[in-house]
Amino acid sequence: MVWARLQADLNCNLRRGAWYRLIKADGLGAVVDVKGTPVPVVRAFLQMSNTPPRKWTVVARPQNVPRSVQVGEHYAVCPSCRDRVPLRGRPSRMLCGRCAVDFAVDWEEQYLAP
């Protein structure tokens, strides 16, 4: 199984930092599984991996997110269920409130760094 996530800071039907199962990648296009729905994406906008995600991804708040959305300046994305969680402090591990799985937080990764 191959996993893919958005590697560009753009608005599309994928959450920044979330990994999705890759259904197909042909030429310039790709299709990922988002909650059972095939979603087409430009392949160049994806990072792909042969191993499933095992750490929370730390994402800087996108510029266009309304202030009414309570995610803080940075938020974490669960590698299992893709839930977004506001970060408080700098935890080394977190338990996901949605899927109840404990993962390390990947502070070393510079996801979508300028």
- At 49 the pLDDT is 96
Query: In this structure, what is the dihedral angle of CA atoms 99, 102, 108, 114, given to the nearest 10 degrees?
Result: 10
Least trusted range by pLDDT, from 2-6, 59-63, 75-79, 87-91 = 59-63
Confidence of residue 113 (pLDDT cuts 50, 70, 90): confident
In this prediction, residues 50-68 reach a mean pLDDT of: 83
**Whether residue 92 is found in the same domain as residue 63:** yes
Question: What pLDDT digit, counting tens, does each position of 9-49 carry?
Answer: 888 889 899 999 999 999 999 999 999 999 999 999 999 99
Matching residue, tokens 């299709």: 31
Cβ proximity of 82 and 90 under 8 Å = no
Residue 40 lies in a domain: yes
For residue 112, being part of any structural domain is answered with no
Residues ≥6 apart with Cβ < 8 Å to 32 = 4, 14, 20, 21, 22, 23, 38, 39, 41, 46
Kindly list the strands in the beta sheet with 84-86, ordered across the sheet, starting from the edge strand earlier in the chain.
Answer: 84-86, 74-77, 55-60, 102-106, 93-95
Contacts of 56 (CB under 8 A, 6+ apart): 76, 77, 78, 79, 85, 94, 103, 104, 105, 106
Q: How many CB atoms lie within 10 A of CB 97?
A: 10
Note down the domain range covering 16: 3-49
pTM value surpassing 0.75 = yes
Residue 61 shares a structural domain with residue 36: no
Q: Give the pLDDT score at 59.
A: 92
Q: Tally the domains of the chain.
A: 2
62-88 mean pLDDT: 81
Has residue 92 got a pLDDT over 90?
yes
Report yes or no on 81 lying in a domain: yes
